[in-house]
Every structure is written in C-alpha cells, then in structure tokens.
Amino acid sequence: MLSRAASSLYWTARYLERAESVARLLDVNLRFSLDLGSDDGDSWAAVVATTGDQTPFLARHGAVNRDAAVAFLAADPGNPNSVVSCVQAARENARAAREYLPSEAWEALNTLHLTVRRLPAEPGDPERLDRTLEAVRSSGRELDGLLATALLRDEGWLFLRLGQSLERADQTSRLVDVQTAALGAPERDGDEAPRWEAVARSANALAMYRRRHGGTDGRKVAEFLLLDGAFPRSVAFCLRSAEESLRAITGTPPGFFGNAAEKGLGRLASELRYTEMADVLREGMHQWLDRFQARLNEVGDAVRVQYFEPPSPEAPGAGSAAGQPQQ
C-alpha cells in the first residue's frame, strides 16, 4: 500500500474517533450541568483541558463557561479539535483513500459531514445541539459497523484499526487524567459518585463498569478505564489492539521488533499488561498519566516517520534493522 493511502486511512480513523469522543464528552457534560441547573466553570474548564486546548481557548474566550466551551469544542472551525473540524479532516483524508473504502462508508461520512455543519455556532438551542451531538455519535457507530463488516482485512483495515486504537487510548487517558484532577484523587473519592458516573459515561463505559463493579467508586472507574483488558475502550485494550495491528502490518513475530514504532508500542503495551492500580497511585495518577501520554505521543511520531514520512536515506538511523528482540 502507498504510504499516502495508509496515512489517509490512519488519520481518517483518528479524526473520526476524536470527533465522536468530543461529541460524547460534550453531550454527557451538558446533561450533567442541566441536571444540576448550574454553569460550573471548573467542570467546563476540565472538559476543555481534556482536549488539550486550554491555551487557544483562553486566548479567544478568556474565562471558561458552559456556552463558550460548547461553542469552541462543537462548532468552532478555528479549533482543530472541535467536532466540526475533526469530521472535516476525516472526510478530506477519506477522500484521498476513497478507493479503499466501501461506498456505504463514504456515503455515511458525507452524511455525518452535513450533519455537523448544522451544529449551532452558539449553543442557544439545547435541544438542537443535543440532537446534533447524538447524530454524531450514531454516525460514528454506523461507520464503525460498516468498516467492521464491509472492509477487506488488508493493510488498509490494519492502518484504520491502528489509528482508531491509538486515538482511543489517548482520549481515554486524557479523560481520566483531567477528570481525576478536577474531581479529586480516586483514592479519596467520597460523595462525587454522579461525577464519576459522568466520567464513565463519557467513555461509553458506565453499563459495563456497573456489570463488573456495581456501585460507583472513583478508584475503580479509573482502573476500569485504564487497565481492564476486557473492555474495548480501556487504554490497555486499545494498546493491545494497536500492537496487534502493527505486527500484522510488518509481519514481525511476537517478542521482536522491526522499527522504533513497534519497539515503543510493544514496550508500552507490555508494561500496561503488568501494571496494577496500586502502581499507578503509588506514582501519582497525574504523574503516571502524564508520562504515559508522552510515551504514546512518541509512538504516534514513530508511526508517522516509519510509514508516512520516512527520513531520507542519509538521515541517521534510516533503515532500521528488523528482528531485534523487544526490551
């Protein structure tokens, strides 16, 4: 597969996953704030922080409030992580790799693009905003289904799966990191069960969390989202899925690596398989997640360089040797 097509499929998946995650985050927090009947600036500051956009938001809007945060994250074309911008970027990438996609998936993506264009620039109509955000989530599920059932299991599908898995791991870790800071450390969780339920719901995890653990407990919610290897949106599950996809692309056998991307991803996924919540809390939740996100970014950079923007033959380290054992 051409690196240009592989890159387009990889970024199509990442942007679609990001759009759905932001839409779900907005929807859950809007419902929560309306139930409380208040505009909690601290909570909405945490929502903005989840996407990593505090600096551009504050430069444009100053103080954080619900309406400004929703407008910025839902419909602001100047914010590259807004729902509108992510869907637009996904569509442009999919256009470049249209020959690899089922026609139904391309049509569904175009429908989603038209849907998000109806997002109100100002959240003055909560019902309209709610309907549009739900349509984004539904379209995301529809596209997932189409790609899962109608796409050849070839390199194109593997790059899509790799992009989706890495983005989902990133989004889940950001959600836990920022919400933990906003709500208080999980081990001190007391009377904030509704907020922890909102965190789980933001990751589409509440029903499965309750099936596994029952009542809401902050530490258990964080553990479920980070380390539960059986839940498809947990960080541990996503890294395992990404690792499997990357190995299938390269053909490298388990226990070995052929490039920096495989090495970094294999090491990170392996560490999570042997990590317990006590290890995370011992280091400190924010410190552990900050270190994890930095390493995940390194993996993303390595994937980009290895498969989409390879260095010139004269560059140091070009043409890394295959078959090195993992460390």
- Cα 285 from Cα 145, distance rounded (Å): 34
256 - beta bridge partners? 325
Tokens of 81: 């992580």
Instruction: Say what the pLDDT of residue 103 is.
Output: 92
Instruction: Say what the pLDDT of residue 49 is.
Output: 85
User: How far, CA to CA in Å, does 280 sit from each of 226, 242, 286?
Assistant: 10, 22, 9
Mention every residue, 6+ apart, whose C-beta is less than 8 A from residue 167: 13, 14, 17, 18, 21
Biggest alpha carbon–alpha carbon distance for the chain: 61
Place of tokens 């049509």: 107
The pLDDT tens digits along the chain (327 residues) read 678 899 999 999 999 999 999 998 888 888 777 665 555 667 788 888 888 888 999 988 888 888 889 889 998 999 999 999 999 999 999 999 999 999 999 999 998 998 888 776 666 666 778 788 888 888 888 888 888 888 899 999 999 999 999 999 999 999 898 777 665 545 444 557 877 888 898 899 999 999 999 888 888 999 999 999 999 999 999 999 999 999 999 999 888 889 999 999 999 999 999 999 999 999 999 899 999 999 999 999 999 999 998 554 443 333 333 333 333
Mention every residue, 6+ apart, whose C-beta is less than 8 A from residue 16: 86, 87, 90, 109, 140, 143, 164
Find out whether 105 and 147 touch, Cβ atoms under 8 Å: yes
User: How far, CA to CA in Å, does 97 sit from each of 9, 80, 93, 111, 147?
Assistant: 6, 21, 7, 18, 14
State the pTM of this model.
0.88
Instruction: Say what the pLDDT of residue 187 is.
Output: 46
Exposed/middle/buried for 320, CB within 10 Å: 0-12, 13-18, 19+?
Answer: middle
Find out whether 133 and 23 touch, Cβ atoms under 8 Å: yes
Instruction: Say what the pLDDT of residue 216 is.
Output: 84
Instruction: Say what the pLDDT of residue 90 is.
Output: 95
Instruction: Say what the pLDDT of residue 238 is.
Output: 97
- Cα 167 from Cα 109, distance rounded (Å): 18
Instruction: Say what the pLDDT of residue 195 is.
Output: 79
Which of 80, 13, 9 has its CA nearest to residue 51? 80
Phi, psi of 231 (to 5 degrees): -100, 120
Which of 67, 73, 137, 148 has its CA nearest to residue 104? 148
User: How far, CA to CA in Å, does 293 sit from each of 249, 267, 288, 316?
Assistant: 24, 14, 9, 26
Q: Radius of gyration of the chain from Cα atoms? A: 20
Residue 186 is classified by DSSP as G
Q: Which ranges of the chain would DSSP assign to H, the alpha helix?
A: 3-36, 41-50, 54-61, 66-74, 83-96, 103-116, 126-150, 155-183, 193-202, 206-213, 218-227, 235-250, 260-273, 277-283, 285-303
Tokens of 24: 């779900």
Tokens of 272: 């999570």
Mention every residue, 6+ apart, whose C-beta is less than 8 A from residue 25: 47, 50, 51, 73, 175, 202
Instruction: Say what the pLDDT of residue 122 is.
Output: 64
At 257 the three-state DSSP class reads: strand
